[in-house]
């Protein structure tokens, strides 16, 4: 019986997910993901402006539509929506008993870590693709 009581006590003292209790725009986690997004988007815009004269119409459209919109804006928008949904779930959980709330907070923290590492890897991959495109444009006569 003591293990159940000590387990419940540890759940009550577990820190709640600060990220999803307030606006995601106030958290360092979300701010860093936004900076990654802006870095890659800025690189895309830089490549478009700097090498516009070397780009064919097809290549420019690919960089604008595929990389800029489909590979950057849509995934970022998806992250914002997911964070908003998780934030709403955490707000509703404030009315739950402490054991269920602690379990939800643990799940949400795990989701936050997974989303963060996944989107960071994704933006890094897109950034590396843009670096490769820039290298190819530099070598183009």
Lowest mean pLDDT among 18-22, 79-83, 113-117: 18-22
Mean pLDDT along residues 83-106? 84
Distance CA 13, CA 20 (A): 18
Lowest mean pLDDT among 53-57, 95-99, 112-116: 95-99
SS3 for 141? Answer: coil
Distance CA 47, CA 44 (A): 5
Residue 24 pLDDT: 64
Distance CA 96, CA 87 (A): 15
SS3 for 27? Answer: coil
Give the rounded distance of the alpha carbon of 65 from its chain centre: 20
Mean pLDDT along residues 33-41? 92
Could you tell me which residue, 126 or 101, shows the higher pLDDT?
Answer: 126
Residue 15 pLDDT: 46
- pTM over the 0.85 mark: no
Band of pLDDT at residue 1, cut at 50, 70 and 90: very low
Domain boundaries, the chain: 21-131
């Amino acid at each position: 019986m003591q293990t159940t009581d000590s387990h419940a006590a540890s759940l009550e003292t577990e820190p709640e997910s600060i990220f999803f209790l307030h606006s995601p725009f106030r958290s360092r986690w979300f701010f860093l993901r936004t900076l990654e997004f802006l870095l890659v988007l800025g690189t895309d815009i830089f490549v478009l402006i700097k090498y516009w004269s070397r780009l064919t119409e097809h290549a420019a459209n690919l960089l604008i539509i595929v990389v800029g919109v489909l590979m950057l804006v849509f995934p970022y928008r998806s992250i914002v929506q997911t964070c908003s949904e998780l934030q709403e779930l955490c707000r509703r959980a404030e009315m739950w008993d402490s054991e269920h709330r602690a379990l939800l907070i643990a799940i949400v923290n795990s989701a936050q870590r997974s989303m963060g590492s996944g989107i960071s890897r994704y933006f890094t991959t897109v950034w590396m693709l843009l670096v490769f495109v820039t290298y190819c444009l530099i070598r183009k006569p």
